[in-house]
Structure 1
Amino acid sequence: MKPKPVEPGAPLAAIELDLDALQKDGKPIRNDFCDGHRLHLDRPLPFLCVYLGSQQNAAYHIATASASYLIAADIGLARAVVRLVAQRMRERCGAFLVIDFGELAEDRFLTDDVPFLRPFEIALGSGETAPEKAALKCFATAASEREAKYRTPRVGDLGSAPSGEARLWDDLGNVAWLAVRFAPIYKVAGTERIYPALRDRVVANMVDTALQAVSAFLKASKLKPPATHRSLGRRAYVDAVTRADRSIDEVASAFDFLLAVTPINAEQAWQEFQAGDFERAPKLYYRPLEFEIAAEKRKLYSISLDHLEDPLLSGLLSEKQQELDLQLSLLATRETSRFVELGRALYGNVEPALAARARHILEKTVGAAPTVQQKGLGAEAVAAAARDMIAGYRAAYPDFEASVEIRADLPAGLLVSRNRLFVSRDTSLAPERLTALLSHEIGVHLLTYFNGDMQGLSILRSGLAGYEGMQEGLAVLAEYLVGGMTAARLRLLAARVVACQAMLGGATFEEVFRILHEDHGLEEHIDFNIVLRVFRGGGLAKDAIYLRGVLQVLDHLKNGGSLTPFWIGKISAAHFGAIEELRARGLLRPPRLEPAFLSSDAARPRLKKAMAGIDPIDMVEA
C-alpha cells in the first residue's frame, strides 16, 4: 500500500533542535519520527546514507550500518530532511554527499543452470560535478573488485536499469548525490526466503565500498580525506549492541571452562599412575557444575543480534555466541568419547607444519629436560610475588583489582580466570622462572582483561572467539622478553604439541605417556603432567596453541606488526583487522596499560631481535 504523505513541519523542527545539539554539544542524533522514519547521526559527517521504503531488506541494513543514515517511507519528507542535514553538515564539514541505496526488482543475470556463477548487477548514478563523478568511479572500481559467494558484480549505468521508482535526487537542489541499486542476489529466486550469510556479505561489502566512495568524494572536493575510509564508520554503539554484549558476557561469566575441565585430583592421579607402573590411566575427578547447561544455552540463544546496525560488531558477537555454545556442549559431554571431537572443533587439529616444528625443537633440545625441583618457591612465595607485581600495575591503574588465591584443587602451576590468579598449593617453582611466569600470567592475561574491561565491550575482557592462541603466544613471548625462556620450557611447549597430535590420532593416556618418555626422553613426572593436561575432560587439544601462538606472534613481528593492538583486550590474530578498524572508527581507546616488562632494559634488545625475525629455538638463553 502506498504510504500517505507526511506533513514535514513538526519532524523538521525537532530535527533542527537535534542538529543544534549535535553541533553544540556533540550529542548524537537518533530521531524516530512518524511511522517508519529515522534519522541517525552519531557525529557530524560529510555524508548521509538513505533508504526509502518499509521493507527491512539488504538495502535497509546497508543504510542502518552507517554512522549517518536516514530511513524514510515518504519521499517528500525524505527530501526535506536530506536538504536540511546537507545544509548543516556542509557548513560543518565543507562538503556533503547523499548516498541513496535501493534494490533492483530482480536478479536479471541469474539462471537455473548456473545459479552461483553468473555476475550480478549493480547500477550507479550520480550528479554531474567532479566530486560526484569521483565518488561514482571509486564505488564502481571498489565494487567490481569484490565477490559475493562466487558472483562478481557487473557495474552499469542506473539510467539503463529498469526502475519506475520515484527518485530522491530529482528535487534535492544543489545536494551532491550518488545512487546505488543492486540485484537481490541474497534472495532465493521465486520465494521470500533468503541466504542470510550471503545477505550479510553483501551488506558488509556495500558499506565498506560506500565509505571508500565518500573518501574519494572528499579528496575530489579539495578537502583532506581521512587517513582510512573506515574512520568514517560508527563511533557510537546503539543500545542493542550494549544489551547483546552484556547478555553474552553474563553467559560467559556463568562458568569457567578451563576450571570445569581441570582435574581436582592431579597429585593422587600421579600416585595412582606411578603405582600401576604407568600401564593404566588414572581416574580423574572434576568439579560439579554449578549451573544447568541447557538453561545457559537457552539464555545464549535468546540474545538477539538482529538490530545491531553494525556488521563488524554483529559478526564479533555472533562468533562469541557460537564459541560459548561449543564450550557448553563440551561441558555437557565431559568424560565421554564425544568430548575429544568437540574439543577438536574448538581448538582445531595439530597441523603437520606445527608438529614438525615441535619435533625439531625436541631434537635440538635433547638433554634439556630438568629434574623435578626438590626445593623451589612454594605457593605462598609465588602468591606473595604475584601480589607485589599486581600492586605495581594497580599503582598505574587503580582499577587493576586482581585477586590471588591459593587452591588445593589444581595441578601444580598458575591459572588465570577473569580477574583472579589461582596458585596451586602443589606449586614448586624454580626461582629463575618466577618473573617469566608472573609476566606470562599477570603481564599478559590479567593486563588484557583489565584493558579490555575499560573499552566498553565486555567481550574484549572475556575474549573474542579464538583469542586463546594469540594470548598464549604473547604470554610465551613475555617469558622470552624477561630472559626466562629456557630450553626446558620450550621443550615442554613442543612436547605438548606432540602429545595433542597423538591424542587426536587416537592414542591412549598411557600410550602418549610412553611416546613422550621413550621417544623424547622427558622426565616421568613432567610427562605425566603434559598428558594429564591433554586428556583433561576426555581429551582436549588446547595445549597445542602455545607453540602455535608464539609462532604467530613472531611472524607478526617479523612482518612489521605492532604489539599495541593486542594489549587492547583479548583478541585473536584473525581479529587484528577488526580491531584496527574499530580503532580507526574511534570505538576503541588506546590500551590503558602496557606490560611493564616491555619498558625494561632487558626486554628492548630481545624485542628488537624478535622484530628482525627469529625461530622459537632462538629464544632460548639458558
Structure 2
Amino acid sequence: MIHSHRKAPRPEATEPDWMAEVLACIETGKSVRKEFGDGGRLHIDRPLPFLCVFVEAGKREAGSALGVGDHVVARDIASANAVYLLAPDIATARPIINAVGRALQKRFGTFLLLEIGELADDALLTDDAPYLPPFEVKVFHTGDAQTTLAANVLVEAVQDVKAKFRTPVVQQGAAVEAPAQDFAFADTGYPSISLRFAPIYRQPGSDNVYPDLREQLVANIFDAGLQAFAAFIRDIDGLKLTTHRQLGRKAFVDAVSRADRSIDDIASSFDFLLAVTPINADAAWAEFKAGGFRTAPRFLYRPLTVDIEAEKRKLFTIAFDRFEDPVLYALYREKQQELDLQLSMLAARETPRFIELGRALYGPVEPSLVDVATRILTATADSLASATEPEMADCFVLDRRARAMIAGYQGQYPGFEATVELRGDLPSGLMVSGNRLLVSRSTLMDRRRVEPLLSHEVGVHLLTYFNGSAQGLRLFRSGLAGYEGMQEGLAVFAEYLSGGMTVERLRLIAARVVGCAMMLDSAPFERTFASLTDAYGLDPDDAFNLVLRLYRGGGLAKDAIYLRGLLQLLDHLKAGGALDPFWMGKISASHFHVMQELSARGLLQAPVVRPDFLSHPHAQTRLDLARQGISPLDMINP
C-alpha cells in the first residue's frame, strides 16, 4: 500500500536574479546555459514545451535516494535532454521551474514537467529469480488526459526495452498516490510526470558501477522520455515530428568540440594504410618472378612516424563523460576503440599479431561472402577470352584528369581543397590519404577505367572527407568507426553509376574476397597467388598486386570489405533506403539511422557538394535498377 501523506512544504527560495535574462532568451528563441550554485545548471538548447528536472541525491526528503556522486544515472539522463534543470535541492529548483514553465507555457500553449530520480535501493522483487531479477520503476503523473497519454507512452517505452541484463517492472499511479520523495513537484500546477528507477547500475555494497549497464540505462530511459514528450506535444501547431528523436539537441556542448579535436589530432597523427603499404612493390615483384613464384618476396615499409604509446595515452585521457548526449557519446567511444585497435596493429606490424588484430578490426570473411565471390569468378571466367586489348592510360593521364575533376568540385564548394601527388613509393594504383589523392608512378590502366576510378577516389572518398569537414565535427571527415566497408561499397557503386564496372574490375573485387579468406586461413603468399592465377585465371601482374595488398604488414583483412560493402549497399537500396545521408561524411551502414537522427535534430547539414557521377547520362537508370534489386553480376557495364 502506497502512503499518500506529504510533509509540510519547506520555505521556498526566491526567483534568482538571472531569471530575467533567461526569460528574455526564451521569448526570443535563444539558447540558455546557466550555471549556478552547488552544481546547478539550467540548459535550454532551444525553447520546447517541456523541462526535464533532476534534484541532487541526498538533498531530497530523507531516505529518498542514494548518495551524491559522479555516477548518478538520473542526472545523466536529465542532462541528455534539450531542455533540463539540475538543481542542488528542491527549494532552489521550484522557483526556476515555475518561471521557466510559465514562459514555455505562454510560448507553446502547454508545458510538461518530467522529474527523474533514483529509488533508495535496488529491492529484490522476487525470491525465485535465479540470476537477474527484474528491477523496480515507478511512474506517477498528474491526471489530465494529455499527461496520462504521455505517462502511458513513457511506461510502454520503458517496458519495451530489450534489456541485456535485467528487465523493468513498472508501477504506475496518480500524483496523489506518490510519496513526497517520489514526486517532489506534483503541486506546481503544471502537467507533470515523475520517474524513479532502481539504481541497478551500482554494484551492491559499493559505489562502483557496471559501466555497460549504466550506459544502457541512460540511453534507454532518455529515449523513453523523448517518446513521452513527443506524445504530449503531438497536437501542437508548428511542432509536427517525424520522429521523437527530433526533440533531442540541435547543438553540442563545448566538451564535444574539445573531444572531437583531440580524436582528430590522434587520427591525423598517422596514416594507417601508408604505414602498412610496402615501398618496394616493383622490386618485390621482380624478386618473386625470378624465384619462379615459389617464395614470398620481402617487403620493406616506411619507418613509423607516430609514437604509438604516446598517442594511446592521449587517446584514453579524452573525456566523454560531459557530452550530455548518449548518441554522440556512443559514436566517440566507438571511434576511440577503433583508433586503439589501429595503433595496436601498427605496433604489431610484421608480427603474427598483426593479422589477428586486423581480423578484429575488419571482421572475418564469412562463408556466404566467399560464395558470392566464387560465383562471380565462375560466372565471368569465359568472358576473359573475348576481352580486347584496351587503350592504356598512365599516371600522367590520371594526374591531369584528377586535377580537372577536383577543380570542378571546387567550383561547387571552394573548401574542396584536395591535392594530387605522384608517388614512386606506392604499388600501382591510387589511394586517398586525408585530403590528398596519391597516384603511383607505375600505374598503367585501361583508359575506360579512368573516370570510374576517379569517381571512386575523388567522387566518394575525397567528397565525403570535405562534406564531413563541413559538418562542424571532424569525426565525420576522419570517419565513424567501421565506416570503411560502406565507403568502399559506395565507391564501387560509383564506378557502376559512371559506366565503368568492367568484367575485369568485378572479378578483381571478388578475387580479393577469395584471397583474403585464404590469407586468414593461414595460406602462404605463394599459394594464394597460385590459386588466383591457376584456378581463377587472374593475370600474374594483377594477382601479385592483389596478394601484396592482402599480405602487407603481416596480413591485412581489409580487402574483403569492398564486396561486402557493395552487397550491404544494394540491400539498402532495394529496401528503399536513400543515398544522401552517406554523402554527409564517412559513415558505416550501422550508422545510417544515427545520421538520420542527427540530421533531423539539426546537428548535421545537407552535403555541401554532391557527386558528379550522379549526373552521368545513365546514372539515374542504373540507380533505379539497383532499387529494384540487382546482384553484382548485373552491374557489369557493356
Q: TM-score, normalised by structure 2?
A: 0.93
Match of 1:481 among 497, 500, 517: 497
2:543 maps to 527
- What residue number does 1:206 align with? 221
Q: Aligned partners of 2:75, 2:229: CA distance in 1, in Å?
A: 19
The equivalent residue for 2:404 is 388
In the alignment, the residues of structure 2 paired with residue 89 and residue 133 of structure 1 have an alpha-carbon distance, to the nearest angstrom, of: 20
Q: 1:6 to 1:541 in 2, by over 3 A?
A: farther
Shift of 1:372: 12
CA contact (8 A) 1:373 1:429 kept: no
* Counterpart selection for 2:50 from 47, 51, 57: 47
Q: For 1:361, which of 376, 382, 390 is the aligned residue?
A: 376
CA deviations on 1:291-341 (whole Å, 9 max, x unpaired) are 211011111111111111111100000000000000000000000111000
| Contact 1:470–1:553 (Cα < 8 Å) also in 2 | yes
Aligned partner of 1:330 in structure 2 is 345
Q: Distance in 2 between matches of 1:40 and 1:338?
A: 48
Displacement of 1:378 in angstroms is 1.2
Q: 1:452 aligns with which of 465, 468, 484?
A: 468
Gaps of 5+ in 1: none
Instruction: Tell me which residue corresponds to 1:85.
Output: 100
| Structure 2 counterpart of 1:285 | 300
Q: Offset at 1:451? A: 0.4
The root-mean-square deviation of aligned C-alpha atoms, in Å, is 2.0
Q: Is residue 514 of structure 1 aligned with residue 530 of structure 2?
A: yes
More divergent stretch after superposition (93-102 vs 443-452): 93-102
Paired AA for residue 388 in structure 1: A
CA contact (8 A) 1:490 1:620 kept: yes
- Note the 1:132-151 alignment, pairs <5 A: 132-151=147-166
Match of 1:605 in 2: 621
Q: What amino acid maps onto 1:43 in structure 2?
A: R
C-alpha separation in 2, matches of 1:93 and 1:602: 49
Match of 1:15 in 2: 19
Please say if residues 116 and 150 of structure 1, whose CA atoms lie closer than 8 Å, have aligned partners that are also in contact: no
CA distance in 2, matches of 1:229, 1:322: 29
Q: How does 1:110-189 map to 2 (within 5 A)?
A: 114=129, 116-157=131-172, 165=181, 167-172=183-188, 174-189=189-204
Paired residue type of 1:48: L
Alignment partner, residue 304 of structure 1: 319
Q: Distance in 2 between matches of 1:507 and 1:387?
A: 41
Kept in 1: contact 2:34–2:41 (CA 8 A): yes
**Separation in structure 2 between the aligned mates of residue 485 and residue 48 of structure 1, nearest angstrom:** 54
Percent sequence identity is: 53
Asked whether 1:469 is paired with 2:472, we answer no
Unaligned runs of 5+ in 2: 1-9, 58-67
Question: By how many angstroms is 1:149 displaced?
Answer: 1.9
Are residue 592 (structure 1) and residue 608 (structure 2) matched?
yes
Q: Which amino acid aligns with 1:503?
A: M
The 3-state SS of whatever aligns with 1:490 is helix
**1:320 is the counterpart of 2:318:** no
Deviation of 1:121 (Å)? 1.5
Q: Which residue of 573, 579, 582 maps to 2:598?
A: 582
- Native 8 Å contact 1:407 1:425 kept in 2: yes
SS in structure 2 opposite 1:466?
coil
Letter in 1 for 2:248: G
Q: Which whole-Å deviations, capped at 9, do the CAs of 1:261-296 have from their partners, x for residues lacking one?
A: 011111110000000000000000111111211011
User: Does 2:253 align with 1:238?
Assistant: yes
Question: 1:361, 1:491 within 8 Å by CA — same for their partners in 2?
Answer: yes
Residue 446 (structure 1) shift? 0.4
CA deviation map 1:373-410 (0-9, x unaligned):
89621111101100000000000101100000000000
Q: Tell me which residue corresponds to 1:409.
A: 425
8 A contact 1:440–1:479 mirrored in 2 = yes
Instruction: Return the match for 1:269 from 271, 284, 289.
Output: 284
Contact in 1 for aligned 2:30/2:47 (Cα 8 Å): no
Q: C-alpha distance in 2, partners of 1:287/1:374?
A: 35
Normalised by the length of structure 1, the TM-score is 0.95
For 2:439 and 2:389, the matched residues in 1 are separated by: 17
Write the deviation string for residues 40-72 of structure 1: whole angstroms up to 9, x where unpaired.
011001111100115341101100111111001
Which amino acid in 2 is paired with 1:571? I
Residue 311 of structure 1 aligns with an amino acid whose one-letter code is P
Give the Cα–Cα distance (whole angstroms) in 2 for the partners of residues 415 and 161 of structure 1: 66
Deviations 1:117-144 (A, max 9, x none): 3222111011111111011111111111
Other-structure match for 1:426: 442
Q: 1:59-105: per-residue Cα shift (whole Å, max 9, x none)?
A: 01100111111001121121110111111111222211010001111
Alpha-carbon distance, 1:235 to partner: 0.7
Aligned with residue 27 of structure 1, among 26, 30, 37: 30
1:407-437 CA-partner distances (Å, limit 9, x unpaired): 0000011000111000001011211111100
SS in 1 for 2:331: helix
In structure 1, distance between residues paired with 2:164 and 2:127 = 16
Residues 523 and 221 of structure 1: CA distance in aligned 2, closer, same or farther (over 3 Å)? closer
Contact 1:67 / 1:234 at 8 angstroms: preserved in 2? Answer: yes
1:219 match: secondary structure: coil
- Distance, in Å, in 1 between the alignment partners of 2:554 and 2:130 is 44
User: Once the 2 structures are TM-superposed, how far is the Cα of residue 114 of structure 1 from its aligned partner?
Assistant: 4.4
Structure 1 residue 158 displacement after superposition:
5.2
Provide, for residues 458-514 of structure 1, a one-character-per-residue CA deviation record: whole Å limited to 9, x for no partner.
Answer: 110000000000000000000000110011100000000000000000101011111
Shift of 1:16: 2.1
Closer/same/farther in 2, CA of residues 163 and 271 from structure 1, 3 Å limit: farther
Q: Distance in 2 between matches of 1:424 and 1:101?
A: 59
Task: Confirm or deny: 8 A CA contact 1:247 1:303 kept in the other structure.
Answer: yes
Contact 1:131 1:221 in 2 (8 A): no
Shift of 1:112: 8.5
SS at match of 1:189: coil
Partner of 2:510: 494
Q: Is the 8 A contact 2:12 2:94 kept in 1?
A: no
1:105–1:163 CA contact under 8 A, matched in 2: no
Query: How much does 1:621 deviate?
Result: 2.0
Q: Structure 1 pair 6/29, CA: closer, same or farther in 2 (3 Å)?
A: farther
The residue type equivalent to 1:14 in the other structure is W
Is the 1:148–1:198 contact (alpha carbons within 8 Å) kept by the matching residues of 2? no
Counterparts of 1:369 and 1:301, CA distance in 2: 52
Q: Which amino acid aligns with 1:189?
A: P
Displacement after TM superposition at 1:219 (Å)? 2.7
C-alpha distance in 2 between matches for 1:287 and 1:360: 38
Assess, with a 3 A threshold, how the Cα gap between structure 1 residues 372 and 513 changes in structure 2: closer, same or farther: farther
Taking structure 1 as reference, are residues 580 and 15 closer, same or farther at Cα in structure 2, changes over 3 Å only? same
Deviation at 1:165, TM superposition (A): 2.0
Paired with 1:48 and 1:311, the residues of 2 have a C-alpha distance of 18
